[in-house]
A and B are shown apart, each in its own frame.
Chain A
Amino acid sequence: MKTSHLVAVTSLLSFIFGCTEPYALQTRNFESALVIEASMTNELKNHAFKISRAYRFEDAQTFENGATVYVEDDAGNMIPFSQQDSMYVSDDAFLPDPQRNYRLHVTTADGKTYSSTPQKQTSVNPIESLNPIVTNLGTQRGVSICVNAYDPTGSSRYYRYEFEDAGRFRTPLYSENEIIIAPDGGDSDPHPDIILQPRTEQAQVCYKKGRSKNIVLASTRDLSEDRIDNFPMRFIADTAYVINDRYAIKVRQYVQNLESYTFYETLRDLSSTGNILSQTQPGFFYGNVRSDSDASEKVFGFFEVSTVSEAILRFDYDEIFPDNLPTPWPYECTQKSLNPTDWTLSPKGDAWDIVELVNNNQMYFFYWGEGDFYILASDQCVDCRRTGSNVPPPFWQD
């Protein structure tokens, strides 16, 4: 909040006197730093870690292949991990022992070794409830997804949240039929075939799925009670189409220790801007994984053993905003009436247009017009799979 205002101040000043403009980033003196994301939870499963490398701005993420990865507990037991595609997955499913300290060991293909500090599982504190609360963020009305949790022992204190969500929506235009463009089947006519056939897959009702893109943290360290009280972990504007019909969100709450909380907090603060005139001091910071041989080698990694709990919230738009008018369909729906049999070459006949529009996924069949003309409409207005998935997420319930 503070940040946004200072940014506004600056943009004002910039408007008058100066400017802020994009700056072409170029990687100078690139250093290849190992990045280790290693999070174990109190779930009986094959735990998976990701090991990658930092990359130049102009490149894409590179995974670290051929590393030897294992977790060692303080009783000397070793839990081996093996590479599966871009992840290192534990050979066996296991549940961490809350009494044990664990350490991560990684040996990269070039023989360098890295290890973490010992980590112990955090205390268990499940989410009590999720509440949708109507709030305003500035002038924007919307719904906050609020979390409640309580640890009477006061030993949890540090929380991190992730979510997956999905919103059901329905296309405004629909047809039970769809056009398939078949290649020229060797028949006498020298053009592809436009085949209209019943849909094989439902494409009117879909789910727009999302997942958390920001680091969401909460702490009760300054409170007398270790209670998360309606903490707004996600805000959705009432005009967002994702909640237009029915919406579901699955929230994962990680109980962290101070060290991992601080790590995520720093990561979060660094990725936001501060204000332009007087910015936050950025810098490189270490997690709890370091090189065994070279203390100055840049390693960005964190190994944690946290507890996790999940809760799911589902609601219809009308339950939250009973007085609101329905949110309008967010996309433009244009229609075109075309003759599917006009294969004239010059000027180019309508049928050619149909082939091009459908092949380019720009427009789909909507209904028959007069004289056997096809009425085509914008793709996302007819087929919901253009903007969502017709398979509901596992946590979905109608």
Chain B
Amino acid sequence: MRKLLLLLMLSMQSMLFAQQKISVSFTDVSVADAIQKIEAASSLTFYFDETWFKQAEPVSASFTNTDANTVLEAVFAQTNLNFYQDGNRVILTRNSVIYDDLPENYFNGKTDGKPVVSSDKPVFFKEGGSSGEETVALVGKEKSSAEKTATITGYVRDAVTGEAVPGVLLSVKGSNLDAVTDDRGFYALKVPSGQHTIEIKSLNYTQASRKVMAYSNGRLDFRVTENPNVLKEVIVHMNEKQNFRTAVTGVTNIDVENIKNIPLVLGERDIFRVATTLPGIKTTGEGSAGFNVRGGKEDQNLILLDDAVLYNPSHFLGFFSAVNPFTTGDVMIYKGSIPAEFGGRLSSVFDITTKKANTEKLSGEGNLGPVTSNLMLNIPVVKGKSGLVIGGRATYSGWILRSLKNSDLQNSRASFYDANLKYTHKLGENDDIELMGYYSHDDFSITSDSLYKYDNRLASVRWNHKFNNKHRGTLSLTNSQYKFDIEYDAGNSSSFDLGYTINETQAAFKFRYSLGEKHKINYGINSKLYQIEPGHIDPLGAESFIESLEIQREKGLESGAFISDDFEITEKWLVSVGVRYSSYLAMGASTVRTYQPGVPISDGSVTGEKTYGKNEVMKSFGGFEPRVSARYMIAEDFSVKAGFDQTYQYIHMLSSNTTQSPTATWKLSDLNVDPQMSRQFSLGFYKNLKDDMFEVSLEGYYKRSQNILDYKVGAQLLLNENVETELLQGEGKSYGVEFLIKKNSGRLNGWLGYTYSRTFLKLDSRFSDERVNNGEYFPSNFDKPHDFSAVLNYKFTKRYSFSANFIYQTGRPITYPIGSYMYNGMEFTLYSDRNEFRIPDYFRLDIGVNIEGNHKIKKLAHSFWNFSIYNVLGRNNPYSVFFVTEAGQVKAYKTSIFSIPVPTLTYNFKF
């Protein structure tokens, strides 16, 4: 039909005006009826397509003996139809005016793709002969006096289900103009009038482009087809342009679907392991839980799963991530320029969103690996309105342990599982509700008498409401609990049960308001209640002599209010100015030791005790956290950004080990522990090359922090009633340069990242036992200056692809023994200054092959096999070097994990 229109347009007939006089009258009738009445009252015959009238308003007219032309103009003025009168034939066209002559420069001028904005002449365009498949959509009604800009609005829907598709980026090729669909799939895109190519990009939908002729404000809906086999496709980031367009620096988006192309360990897709191949995100070592983001400690990352905090993001001592990759929709990692809506952690935010259910059709995905199996189901509940995503994962690693010859290990157990669920319900045009639940459990026992367990439990409720097109709000309630438990049951006097629990509940209101075209305002408040049981120990069994001990509970209320504005000053300048005010109240009931001021906090400096009643405020902290960033577009595909942000943290992880371990506990700020504070300056350059095929970025940061927690040598942190006597607080300093080049499309895709970064800590005091390395800055445990990673994927055919990872890192610092000494008849090790030496450099190569089943659309399930080899070079990377005094002799040991190539075969399916 559109073809016909084009032909009509291009058939350049001269117009013949036979002035007919018509008398006709009608009120509020449909356009079709009106045409019939005009036909009846005249000799005119109309040519049209009835579907054009569907959106048209009813028309009214009353004419007596009037020129046909005047009558038609009056009738069609209220519609987006134009007419062309040829004798007694009236040809209706949608949008276009049919001109009977061409502009003078039509055949010479190169108008293709360029909007004609400065001319009062009508907008014309040629159809490119080569792009025969492409059709042109016409938007708005052409007026003889052309408008300079047009706003195209419309919905993006799934071609099959008809469901609105949010988060689709529509961008105008060759310009900076773009728009993203909202939750209802609605978008508004302002363009200069003329011909444009609108590109549509989304994670799960096939990328498409559409030529558009924009005349004036008008509506254009898109139908997008879901990627027929998501398992196969390397999907181009929806935010490849956001990379340099937004004002924030240090933001990373993990393409969850793409993870499958990365070689795996034991068949597990792991979001966090992928994250650590990106610049600025590191772990202390292989198999260690927690991340170090831009020189921050493990406890400085806010890991959110649908708004709820995930305290322990790993399974099995950090070998696997606790987040199910199949149910994960989106992962945003903020390493800097943390938006004002987030607070409470110094270094980063991992904002993980669970997939929203498809409410139209049942689908599922899963895999079978040597250690775990994984299944995700999408179940529509009320068609078009509500749906459920459930995911589950479990180990069956028991057989590995049982099949070992070592009898000690045959009694061992190590297993974990996690399950999550997300229910979405659309209440109406303006409201929808999301419910999320998550539970993970780990247990491992190595001897028959001990059992370690830890659990994460998360729940969140979210109500999204649209006040109007400009103003939206979200209310969310979340609860998170993390606990661990150690049972030692030897049936003797020392059997015990030890436990720790942290629970937090948060209520948050967030609002988004678009003030005019240039301001996007976010504001909100939130409040979070922490309740911690810092540890209890109880005797286990009748034989046990262990005395019950419960460390008194901790309670705190952390609140925040924020406002931020993304202000597009000009096309080139975008600033994001935000501020957050956070406050923290340490609350009773509690009995707290008071210490003599000016001397180290120790058992020796206690002056007394103070008792606080229930909910009585013991101490309050608070502060402003400015978050400012700006972007300047140097060129269309080249931008520079700078940012400054300040953050406070009122909760601290205690672990006297170098890494996060399952027995690490969290402690709240109180009378004796001050909040941590950090300030980061960042600067970045972003460029896209070759039509966005390559993204290149270079970012730098400088960060200072205060009150970073460290411990006195040999600190006892668990079940310590006066843990403050073991703590030190010092200053941190880190800086770095991060380079990333990414290729998003083509047979060969992937990324290369290189980071040079340093991170230091200073623990100074007037007192020698509180001073480390003479009070000078020393490298922190995770200071690894050089970090290079390459993640590459090569597609031989649609069905076969090969992938490889290469990682190189400077060895992490350790405190090295430099000699021995005898004391009290025993030999001890004399250590160097803290972190004066390093373990050998780390490097590793992994490879993988993906083989997909055939691509018949009618197949019941799509599947693929993944075969990967982790550490294919068999490099014996030392994780640590440690020293033990054994029988009066100092002995050194080197530990490595995965010191041999680990092959894995995994079967994945999707239906």
Residues of A within 8 A of B (CB): 1-2, 5-6, 8-10, 12-25, 27-31, 33, 35, 37, 52-57, 61, 135-139, 211, 213-215, 221-222, 258-259, 262, 265-286, 290, 295-296, 298, 300
For window 691-725 of B, CB contacts with A under 8 Å fall at: 711-714, 716, 718, 721
A135 and B492 form a contact (CB under 8 A): yes
The answer to whether A211 and B825 touch (CB under 8 A), given A31-B819, A279-B880, is yes
Q: Which listed residue, B768, B879, B894, touches A290 by the CB 8 Å rule?
A: B768
**What B residues does A135 contact at CB under 8 A?**
492-493
B818 and A21 form a contact (CB under 8 A): no
With both beta carbons as reference points, the residue of chain A lying nearest to B720 in the complex is identified as: A222
Among B217-225, B555-563, B884-892, which stretch is in contact with chain A?
Answer: B884-892
B882 and A283 form a contact (CB under 8 A): no
**What B residues does A215 contact at CB under 8 A?**
824, 826
B823 and A300 form a contact (CB under 8 A): yes
**What A residues does B825 contact at CB under 8 A?**
211, 213
Whole-angstrom distance between the alpha carbons of A283 and B816 in the complex?
Answer: 8
A279 and B658 form a contact (CB under 8 A): yes
Question: Does residue B490 face the partner (Cβ distance < 8 Å to A)?
Answer: yes
For window 399-429 of B, CB contacts with A under 8 Å fall at: 400-401, 404, 406, 408-409, 412, 414
Question: Does residue B372 face the partner (Cβ distance < 8 Å to A)?
Answer: no
For window 462-506 of B, CB contacts with A under 8 Å fall at: 486, 488, 490, 492-494
For window 292-339 of B, CB contacts with A under 8 Å fall at: 317, 319
With both beta carbons as reference points, the residue of chain A lying nearest to B721 in the complex is identified as: A222
**What B residues does A25 contact at CB under 8 A?**
817, 883, 890-892
A-B contact pairs, 25 of them (CB 8 A): A1-B488, A2-B663, A13-B287, A19-B899, A35-B822, A53-B821, A56-B820, A61-B821, A213-B825, A213-B826, A215-B826, A259-B604, A262-B769, A266-B713, A267-B828, A273-B884, A277-B879, A277-B880, A278-B655, A278-B660, A280-B714, A281-B711, A281-B834, A284-B815, A296-B774
B831 and A284 form a contact (CB under 8 A): yes
B659 and A277 form a contact (CB under 8 A): yes
Query: Interface residue tally of chain B, by bracket?
Result: 35 or more
Q: Which listed residue, B287, B449, B774, B837, touches A277 by the CB 8 Å rule?
A: B287
Q: Which listed residue, B409, B490, B891, B902, touches A136 by the CB 8 Å rule?
A: B490
**What A residues does B819 contact at CB under 8 A?**
27, 30-31, 33, 54-57
B661 and A278 form a contact (CB under 8 A): yes
A258 and B602 form a contact (CB under 8 A): yes
For window 714-758 of B, CB contacts with A under 8 Å fall at: 714, 716, 718, 721
Whole-angstrom distance between the alpha carbons of A29 and B838 in the complex?
Answer: 13
Whole-angstrom distance between the alpha carbons of A29 and B818 in the complex?
Answer: 7
For window 646-672 of B, CB contacts with A under 8 Å fall at: 655-661, 663
B409 and A270 form a contact (CB under 8 A): no
For window 800-846 of B, CB contacts with A under 8 Å fall at: 815-826, 828-834, 836-837
Q: How many A-B residue pairs have CB under 8 A?
A: 234
**What B residues does A22 contact at CB under 8 A?**
891-894
For window 425-467 of B, CB contacts with A under 8 Å fall at: 444, 446-447, 449-450, 452
Minimum Cβ distance to chain A for residue B289 (Å): 9
**What A residues does B117 contact at CB under 8 A?**
none
Q: Which listed residue, B317, B663, B712, B713, touches A13 by the CB 8 Å rule?
A: B317
Per-residue A-contact encoding for B560-597, CB less than 8 Å = 1, 0 else: 00000000000000000000000000000000000000
Per-residue A-contact encoding for B223-236, CB less than 8 Å = 1, 0 else: 00000000000000
**What A residues does B488 contact at CB under 8 A?**
1, 5
Question: Does residue B895 face the partner (Cβ distance < 8 Å to A)?
Answer: yes
The answer to whether A23 and B444 touch (CB under 8 A), given A258-B604, A273-B882, A282-B831, is no
**What B residues does A295 contact at CB under 8 A?**
768, 774
Whole-angstrom distance between the alpha carbons of A12 and B410 in the complex?
Answer: 10
Question: Does residue B207 face the partner (Cβ distance < 8 Å to A)?
Answer: no
Question: Does residue B873 face the partner (Cβ distance < 8 Å to A)?
Answer: no
A276 and B404 form a contact (CB under 8 A): no
Question: Does residue B897 face the partner (Cβ distance < 8 Å to A)?
Answer: yes
B884 and A272 form a contact (CB under 8 A): yes
With both beta carbons as reference points, the residue of chain B lying nearest to A35 in the complex is identified as: B821
With both beta carbons as reference points, the residue of chain A lying nearest to B837 in the complex is identified as: A28
B604 and A20 form a contact (CB under 8 A): no
The answer to whether A213 and B888 touch (CB under 8 A), given A30-B818, A55-B820, is yes
Question: Does residue B79 face the partner (Cβ distance < 8 Å to A)?
Answer: no
Whole-angstrom distance between the alpha carbons of A35 and B826 in the complex?
Answer: 13
Minimum Cβ distance to chain B for residue A135 (Å): 6
B892 and A24 form a contact (CB under 8 A): yes
**What B residues does A23 contact at CB under 8 A?**
881, 892-894
With both beta carbons as reference points, the residue of chain A lying nearest to B776 in the complex is identified as: A296
Minimum Cβ distance to chain A for residue B659 (Å): 5
A270 and B828 form a contact (CB under 8 A): yes
Question: Does residue B239 face the partner (Cβ distance < 8 Å to A)?
Answer: no
**What A residues does B711 contact at CB under 8 A?**
281
Whole-angstrom distance between the alpha carbons of A124 and B408 in the complex?
Answer: 48
**What A residues does B721 contact at CB under 8 A?**
222
Q: Which listed residue, B414, B663, B893, touches A21 by the CB 8 Å rule?
A: B893
With both beta carbons as reference points, the residue of chain B lying nearest to A221 in the complex is identified as: B603
A281 and B656 form a contact (CB under 8 A): yes
B714 and A277 form a contact (CB under 8 A): no
A277 and B818 form a contact (CB under 8 A): no
Whole-angstrom distance between the alpha carbons of A15 and B405 in the complex?
Answer: 11
Whole-angstrom distance between the alpha carbons of A30 and B829 in the complex?
Answer: 12
**What A residues does B888 contact at CB under 8 A?**
213
Question: Does residue B898 face the partner (Cβ distance < 8 Å to A)?
Answer: yes
Minimum Cβ distance to chain A for residue B316 (Å): 9
**What B residues does A266 contact at CB under 8 A?**
712-714
**What A residues does B317 contact at CB under 8 A?**
9, 13, 277
**What A residues does B712 contact at CB under 8 A?**
266
**What A residues does B768 contact at CB under 8 A?**
286, 290, 295
**What B residues does A278 contact at CB under 8 A?**
288, 655, 657-661
B821 and A55 form a contact (CB under 8 A): yes
B447 and A27 form a contact (CB under 8 A): no
Chain B CB count within 10 A is highest, among A20, A35, A284, for A284
- The 4 closest A-B CB pairs, nearest first, are A269-B714, A278-B657, A271-B885, A23-B894
With both beta carbons as reference points, the residue of chain A lying nearest to B826 in the complex is identified as: A213
Whole-angstrom distance between the alpha carbons of A278 and B283 in the complex?
Answer: 13
Question: Does residue B247 face the partner (Cβ distance < 8 Å to A)?
Answer: no
Minimum Cβ distance to chain A for residue B295 (Å): 18
Whole-angstrom distance between the alpha carbons of A56 and B774 in the complex?
Answer: 23
Whole-angstrom distance between the alpha carbons of A300 and B897 in the complex?
Answer: 35
Whole-angstrom distance between the alpha carbons of A31 and B820 in the complex?
Answer: 10
Minimum Cβ distance to chain B for residue A299 (Å): 11
A27 and B818 form a contact (CB under 8 A): yes
Chain B CB count within 10 A is highest, among A24, A270, A281, for A281
**What B residues does A282 contact at CB under 8 A?**
713, 815, 817, 829, 831, 883
B830 and A33 form a contact (CB under 8 A): yes
**What A residues does B450 contact at CB under 8 A?**
5
**What A residues does B214 contact at CB under 8 A?**
none
**What A residues does B406 contact at CB under 8 A?**
15
A54 and B892 form a contact (CB under 8 A): no
Question: Does residue B772 face the partner (Cβ distance < 8 Å to A)?
Answer: yes
With both beta carbons as reference points, the residue of chain B lying nearest to A8 in the complex is identified as: B446
A276 and B880 form a contact (CB under 8 A): yes
Q: Which listed residue, B603, B657, B816, touches A280 by the CB 8 Å rule?
A: B657
Whole-angstrom distance between the alpha carbons of A27 and B890 in the complex?
Answer: 12
Question: Does residue B896 face the partner (Cβ distance < 8 Å to A)?
Answer: yes
B657 and A279 form a contact (CB under 8 A): yes
A285 and B769 form a contact (CB under 8 A): yes
Minimum Cβ distance to chain B for residue A111 (Å): 22
Minimum Cβ distance to chain A for residue B391 (Å): 26
A18 and B826 form a contact (CB under 8 A): no
The answer to whether A284 and B830 touch (CB under 8 A), given A29-B818, A213-B887, A300-B821, is yes
B494 and A1 form a contact (CB under 8 A): yes
**What A residues does B895 contact at CB under 8 A?**
10, 14, 18-20, 276-277
**What A residues does B414 contact at CB under 8 A?**
12
A37 and B823 form a contact (CB under 8 A): yes
The answer to whether A13 and B714 touch (CB under 8 A), given A258-B604, A282-B831, A284-B831, is no
